[in-house]
Amino acid sequence: MKFGIICAVAAELAPFLPHIKNCKASTKAMLTVYEGTINGTEIAALYCGIGTTNAAIATQILIDTYGAGAIINSGTAGGMDAQLELFDTVICTGAVYHDVQEAILTAFHPKLPSIHFKACETLIEKSKNVKVNGKIYYGRLVTGNKFIDDDGRNEINAKFEPLAVDMETASIAHVCYVNNVSYVAVRTITDTADHSGVGTFEENCPKASEISSEIVLGML
């Protein structure tokens, strides 16, 4: 099986590039896709840009143009659960949009059975065999087109009880669902309620991206 690896920004993708053997780059829809093998496994990797639309475009391209049979979303996230600390990692067991009305997903095309997109249990199990420094948690991610610092945090926590929040995972999961393709997300925490703000994210993004990539590389 060929795996698609999706990161949101260049810093999240950078740790993967030295590990890609026989790497070749091509472009599609203004995205640069790196193909090759990692640990003998065929991959196509890219960074899609921030937000749900960019992530959806990238996911469909990896499936249609590059033949990805499963998608791994690797990168960073904001911690929502109080137990999470900086540089802990969340392996997504399911994802949900925090800024989309439920009926839009369940009453209209494609009339989803639930607003929750379950991650692939096989890929989740593979992550449990990887040894890394730092804590790994398993649970729900929430996604929306807004960076969450203090504004909106309590409301999202009360409604969804997520471990972490990002701006891509539910969109990737959504596209995978309608294509009958497996997905999982591996997200390392860059900011929390106690360490919030875009500046904190930017400072911690490189280190957090390295941690996420180590887990994904171990899975592959």
- Which residues are catalytically annotated? 12, 191
The total number of residues shown for the chain amounts to 220
Of 142, 124, 121, 132, nearest to 186 by C-alpha is 124
Identify the DSSP state of 119.
Answer: P
Cα separations in angstroms, 193 against 64, 78, 84, 138, 148 = 39, 9, 10, 19, 9
Q: Say which residues have a Cβ less than 8 Å from residue 161's Cβ, sequence separation at least 6.
A: 81, 140
Parallel, antiparallel or unpaired: strands 70-79 and 41-47: unpaired
Reading the block at residue 112, the tokens are 């989803």
